[in-house]
Amino acid sequence: MEIEQGPRADVVVIGAGNAALVAALSAKEQGASVLVLEAAPREQRGGNSRFSGGIFRFAHGGRDHIAPLLTEEGATWLDRVTIEPYEPHRFRADIDLVCQGQSDPDLITTLIDTSYDTMAWMQGHGVRWELVTDKLFDPKKIEPGVTYAMPPGGAVRATNEGVGLMYDLFNAVEAQGIEVLYDAPAHELLMDGARCTGVRIRRPDRFVDVGAGAVVLACGGFESNPELRLRYLGPGWDLVKVRGTRFNMGSMLMHALAVGAAPGGHWGGAHASPLDAHAPDVGELSLTDRMSRYSYPYCLLVDRDGNRFVDEGEDEVWLTYAKTGWAIRAQKGARAWQIFDQKTINLLEPRYSTGTPVEAGSLEDLANKLGISAEGLQQTVAEFNAACGPNDAFDPFHKDGLRSGAGITPPKSNWAQPIDKAPYVAYAVTCGITFTYGGLKIDTGAKVISTVNAPLGGLYATGEIAGGFFYHNYAAGSGLMRGATFGRIAGREAAAHALGGGAAG
Ligand SMILES: Cc1cc2nc3c(=O)[nH]c(=O)nc-3n(C[C@H](O)[C@H](O)[C@H](O)COP(=O)(O)OP(=O)(O)OC[C@H]3O[C@@H](n4cnc5c(N)ncnc54)[C@H](O)[C@@H]3O)c2cc1C
């Protein structure tokens, strides 16, 4: 195929999600000329970031410290909530807990220490922040005088979630005069030895070479690619549903490895969460994040035989949901059912309205309607109910320590109360993959590190394509924050490299 010589820019950013656009803005701020290359057509731009709930996890000093970040409308429910301080050590403890202490300590320190400042910087570029309230609960259904304790690490999101985040970021990019090329998938890196000099993009009828002083890879993980999922995550993963974009095929991740980048992080791991069983096989922008099913701490989660298989109340949902998809995938047919009774049905996240609940007056009828074992479900619920103590302390908004009694395996560590108030309501769920954890090895300057442990000159990475942050599990809101903090660093460093003549390596 013909190869055409295309444009040149100081900094070329590959991808047009949150990480990429933050990098583009940051490079531009340093005085670099910037070009963004996006595989998707314009209508589908924005990657997983556009599908996302837009939640950002950052270190802060509590409600009063958060308040200046919020728009007036975004602070509407501020007096109905409490938000404890989320100091750096608490952020780190959560990451260490869920990632079993395996995250790269330097990368995590940088993420945490620059998180609040990056939120303020993004606000300065026009990103509008609001409280997450109506995602977690319906404020109008909470009794007057009751305050909701928000998870301190997951209290703030972009206005209008991922759609609003990308709307604001594209506006900022356009306001800066940064050009974005659509339908322009990067095909390979142009390398001069261990130095990156540009990118070859694949148009329908030809290749186009784009020259660059530095390149920022921000083109996602390999979650959308069934062949790579099977290869790295294991059998069955080729068949799971994809929660977000269809464009994160991992092609540049593979290519970067081929030119000498070192792999970093947990290549056998991925963020995967409970998803409506009837969700489309790949995310649709008309639904974005509304097919997720995260009210499982208030239910019993059972398999086809009616058996429980996870501790639904192990911790606050933002610290368990990304591994609960794994547990569901391991069940027969990668399918499970969330069983609620009338005591908690009012606590379901509002997005359950996109689902198809199945309701019945008895557990036997419910199981028959669902096509699961009636005997198994009745026995599981009977044994579970018998193991529950008094439920006066039930507190949906805090970890209430209401734990199932002895003999129940797995235990339910919080919010354990009998399922006994008919009619019973069930939602069928499956596993939805969100993003992969394995990626390129980077340093705290977002430089891509080679297999001989030296930076590949002029090559930077941020967002999902960078590994070393998440292992085994994940704390909600840290994906977007990771992409933004390291996007800002990558843009700044790439600009310095390009404008400084590239000597820094
Ligand atoms: C439904 C859902 C809800 C989520 N909610 C949250 C949340 O609330 N908070 C949070 O922190 N995280 C959330 N996440 C995870 C988070 O959205 C992602 O991890 C994050 O957006 C990744 O940002 P990114 O910029 O690295 O990748 P993306 O936003 O996916 O951007 C990658 C871009 O690269 C493009 N691309 C891919 N290959 C190429 C190529 N070869 N050439 C050019 N372009 C290419 C893609 O088209 C895409 O635009 C959610 C994800 C999903 C799917």
Q: Whose CA is nearest to atom 5 of ligand 1?
A: 52
User: Are residues 217 and 295 located together in one domain of the fold?
Assistant: no
The full length of the chain comes to: 505
- What distance in angstroms lies between residue 478's CA and the mean position of ligand 1's atoms? 12
Q: Where are the alpha helices (DSSP H) in 76-137?
A: 88-98, 105-113, 115-124, 133-136
Q: What confidence tier does 503 reach under pLDDT thresholds 50, 70, 90?
A: very low
- Looking from the CA of residue 249, the nearest atom of ligand 1 is 38
Q: Is residue 346 one of the residues assigned to a domain? A: yes
Domain count across the chain: 2
Q: What is the CA radius of gyration of the chain?
A: 23
**What is the model's pTM?**
0.97
| Residues 198, 22: Cα–Cα separation, whole Å | 20
Helix (H, G, I), strand (E, B) or coil at 387: coil
Looking at the fold, whether 182 and 104 belong to one and the same domain comes out as: yes
Distances (CA, A) of 332 to 292, 336, 346, 373: 20, 8, 29, 13
Of 382, 397, 432, which marks where a domain is finished? 432
Residues 426, 444: one domain?
no
Q: Are residues 309 and 451 in the same domain?
A: no
pLDDT of residue 397: 84
**pLDDT (mean) for 345-371:** 96
Going by C-alpha positions, the residue among 165, 158, 159, 156 that lies closest to residue 66 is 156
Convert the pLDDT of each residue in 148-182 to its tens digit.
888 999 999 999 999 999 999 999 999 999 999 99
Q: Is residue 133 part of a domain?
A: no
| 468 Cα–ligand 1 center, Å | 17
| Ligand 1 pocket at CB < 6 A | 14-20, 37-40, 46-49, 51-55, 185-186, 218-220, 243-245, 247-248, 251-252, 283, 289, 434-435, 463-464, 477-480, 483
Of 432, 458, 475, the domain-final residue:
432
Distance 29 CA to ligand 1 centre (A): 23
Residue bearing the CA closest to ligand 1, atom 49: 47
Co-location of 481 and 424 in the same domain: no
SS3 state at 146: coil
Where residue 298 falls among pLDDT bands split at 50, 70, 90? very high
Ligand 1 centroid–CA 63 distance in Å is 28
233 within a domain of the structure (yes/no): no
Structural domain range at position 356: 272-432
* Model confidence pLDDT, tens digit, residues 84-105: 999 999 999 999 999 999 999 9
- Report which ligand 1 atom has the smallest distance to the Cα of 185: 42
**Last residue within a domain, chosen from 407, 432, 457:** 432
Query: Residue 504: which pLDDT band, with cuts at 50, 70 and 90?
Result: very low
- Do 310 and 414 lie in one domain? The reply is yes
Model confidence at 136, in pLDDT bands (50, 70, 90)? Answer: low
Q: Which ligand 1 atom is nearest residue 481's CA? A: 11
Could you tell me which residues come within 8 angstroms of residue 382 by beta carbon, excluding any fewer than 6 positions away?
none
Distance in Å, CA 192 to ligand 1 centroid: 29
Atom of ligand 1 nearest to the CA of 478: 11
Residue 129 belongs to a domain? no
pLDDT in tens, 454-492: 999 999 999 999 999 999 999 999 999 999 999 999 999
**What is the C-alpha separation between 165 and 171, in angstroms, rounded?**
10
Query: DSSP secondary structure string, 369-382?
Result: HHTS-HHHHHHHHH
Residue 413 sits in the same domain as residue 474: no
In a domain, 142, yes or no: no
Residue 89: is it exposed, middle or buried by C-beta count within 10 angstroms (0-12/13-18/19+)? exposed
208 strand-pairing partners: 4, 201
Question: Residue 228 contacts by C-beta under 8 Å, 6 or more apart in sequence?
Answer: 222, 249, 250, 254
Q: What is the Å distance from ligand 1's center to 49 Cα?
A: 4
Question: What's the CATH number where 423 sits?
Answer: 3.90.700.10
Residue 157 included in any domain: no
- In a shared domain, residues 281 and 300: yes
**Residue 427 domain-assigned (yes or no):** yes
Pocket test for ligand 1, best of 48, 169, 281 (most atoms within 8 A of CB): 48
Give distance in angstroms: CA of 54 to centre of ligand 1.
11
**Does 414 lie in the same domain as 281?**
yes
Q: 329 with 199, same domain? A: no
Q: Are residues 346 and 451 in the same domain?
A: no
21 and 47 inside one domain: yes
Task: Name which residue sits closest to atom 14 of ligand 1, judged by CA.
Answer: 52
pLDDT 10s digits, 57-83: 999 999 999 999 999 999 998 988 899
> Is 350 within a domain?
yes
CATH, residue 20: 3.50.50.60
